[in-house]
């Protein structure tokens, strides 16, 4: 079988990096997309080159996927390099905390432009190649409790965008399912990915039924399953990786 190719947005750090490292160990060709984390991206590329003993199967691209033309060019670049693109993992998802009525128009727009719109832009561009090969996987990252429609007064726009990701996931799953393509969402809870403050994690652990904070390997395990042929009949799902928080 030909080497499969994955594009991972937000692949320079945290959960995205952990996924990239795992797929590298399994022999995948990997493109990671980053917007500002150039040093982290270079470090990830070097780590994967060390795993695979080659630089032929990994590269990093700086790209603002909130721009539809840039997202299109990114997909074309990856497909041009490896002549195929089998998997899209939409892992990028910046957020900020601000009281709702103090949110700016720019801040509000940014949450949708960076969390929701790229999922549509990239999925649309990658779909045709997947349809031709009659196989593909798209995995989108939402957040635990985004399906609960509860009030969120400090991350409102981010929360709405992540709820939108779930709706888009199900819609893409229905549209692409007849072509052997599955589209699923993973909704992490509190994961120690290096982006949260330690005291914040120590405070919320009491709210997690499992009794501990998850790590990036918990999300990697979920991704590994959804990419596998064992998950061929799993489509349009939302997998919580939260230790029971948010349900």
Give me the chain's average pLDDT, please: 94
Instruction: Count CA within 13 A, CB hemisphere, residue 165.
Output: 36
Overall average pLDDT of the 170-183 stretch:
98
Q: What is the pTM of this model?
A: 0.95
Residue recorded with tokens 């990671």: 32
User: Which tokens in the block code for residue 208?
Assistant: 């997690």
> Which of 34, 43, 159, 233 is an active site residue?
159
Can 34 be counted among the known catalytic residues? no
Are 214 and 241 within 8 A, CB to CB? yes
pLDDT digits (tens, 9 = 90+) for 81-124: 999 999 999 999 888 999 999 999 999 999 999 999 999 999 99
Q: What does the domain layout of the chain look like in residue ranges?
A: 5-241
The topology (CATH level 3) of 5-241 is Rossmann fold (3.40.50)
């Amino acid at each position: 079988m030909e080497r499969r190719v994955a594009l991972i947005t937000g692949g320079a750090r945290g959960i995205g990096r952990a996924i990239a490292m795992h797929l590298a160990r399994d022999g995948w060709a990997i493109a990671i997309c980053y917007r500002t984390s150039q040093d982290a991206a270079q470090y990830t590329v070097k780590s994967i080159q060390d795993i695979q003993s080659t630089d032929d199967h990994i590269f990093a691209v700086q790209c603002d996927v909130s721009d539809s033309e840039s997202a299109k060019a990114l997909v074309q670049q990856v497909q041009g390099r490896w002549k195929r693109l089998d998997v899209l993992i939409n892992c990028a998802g910046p957020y900020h905390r601000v009281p709702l009525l103090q949110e700016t128009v720019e801040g509000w727009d940014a949450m949708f432009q960076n969390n929701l719109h790229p999922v549509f832009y990239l999925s649309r561009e990658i779909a045709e190649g997947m349809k031709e090969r009659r196989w593909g996987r798209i995995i989108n990252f939402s957040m635990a409790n985004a399906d609960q429609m509860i009030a969120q007064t400090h991350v409102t726009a981010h929360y709405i965008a992540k709820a939108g990701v779930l709706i888009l996931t199900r819609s893409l799953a229905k549209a692409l399912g007849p072509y052997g393509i599955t589209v699923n969402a993973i909704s992490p809870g509190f994961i120690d990915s290096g982006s949260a403050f330690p005291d914040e994690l120590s405070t919320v652990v009491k709210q997690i039924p499992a009794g501990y904070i998850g790590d990036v390997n918990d999300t990697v395990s979920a991704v590994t399953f959804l990419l596998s042929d064992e998950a061929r009949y799993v489509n349009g799902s939302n997998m919580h990786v939260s230790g029971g928080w948010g349900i």
